[in-house]
Amino acid sequence: MEKEYFIHESSYVDSNCSIGKGTKIWHFSHIMTGSTIGENCNLGQNVVISPGVELGNNVKVQNNVSVYTGVICEDDVFLGPSCVFTNVINPRSFIERKDEYKKTIVKKGASIGANSTIVCGYDIGKYAFIGAGAVVTKDVPDYALMVGTPARIVGYVCKCGNKLEKISEKNYKCNSCEKVYTMKDTKLIEGN
């Protein structure tokens, strides 16, 4: 039976992995036992997917990214080049802490910029945008644009990825696709 996905000959895929139709895994990557990769994903060069990691459909993982145990990426997530995940708060080389791994969920449509760091145990909201080099040390709301060290909200982005313009006290608009968003309590909601 022919595989419905592509794996470059220089990459390793351990047994007991699930890889969806149309997915491409490029040079020097390692997919470890027990990981799940959805359909139509693209994993660049030198990517490691650790045991138990879940990648949804249409996830793009750029070069030099290690996605460690405890990380779940929902559909349509973008992981920029050399971004970093952690899974233990207080690592020591001489103390095994595999039973202390913390979960990190990157929700649907979120983008994580190049060289950014996501400290474990925090969730990235849907369609959030983490700027290049940012260090995330807390939960990120849906649609939030985060930059800096530690990362802080500097605005909001549309589903299409463009920065939203604040048009009133509680309303935002995308000048690219014309979508309108409303702030209700502390959550940005698409539509009025």
Kindly report, residue by residue over 112-129, the tens digit of the pLDDT: 999 999 999 999 999 999
> What pLDDT does residue 3 have?
84
95 burial class (0-12, 13-18, 19+ CB within 10 angstroms)? exposed
Q: How far apart are CA 159 and CA 113, in angstroms?
A: 16
Q: Is residue 186 part of a domain?
A: no
Tally of structural domains, the chain = 1
Q: Is residue 10 part of a domain?
A: yes
Q: Is residue 167 part of a domain?
A: no
Counting Cα atoms < 13 Å in the Cβ hemisphere of 24 gives 8
3-state helix, strand, coil in the chain (%, to 5): 0, 35, 60
Q: Which amino acid does the sequence have at 8?
A: H
Which residues of the chain, if any, have pLDDT below 70? Answer: 1-2, 192
Q: Is residue 168 part of a domain?
A: no
What is the phi-psi region of residue 93: left when phi exceeds 0, alpha when psi lies from -120 to 50, beta otherwise? alpha
**CATH number of the domain residue 76 falls in:** 2.160.10.10
Domain range enclosing 53: 6-159
Q: Is residue 99 part of a domain?
A: yes
Residue 7: which of 58, 36, 42 has the closest Cα?
Answer: 42
Q: Is residue 187 part of a domain?
A: no
Task: For residue 186, give Cα distances in angstroms to 76, 133, 142, 167.
Answer: 24, 25, 10, 17
Q: Is residue 183 part of a domain?
A: no
Q: Is residue 180 part of a domain?
A: no
Residue 133: which of 112, 110, 119, 115 has the closest Cα?
Answer: 115
Task: For residue 110, give Cα distances in angstroms to 13, 25, 75, 184.
Answer: 26, 21, 9, 20
For all residues of the chain together, what is the average pLDDT? 96
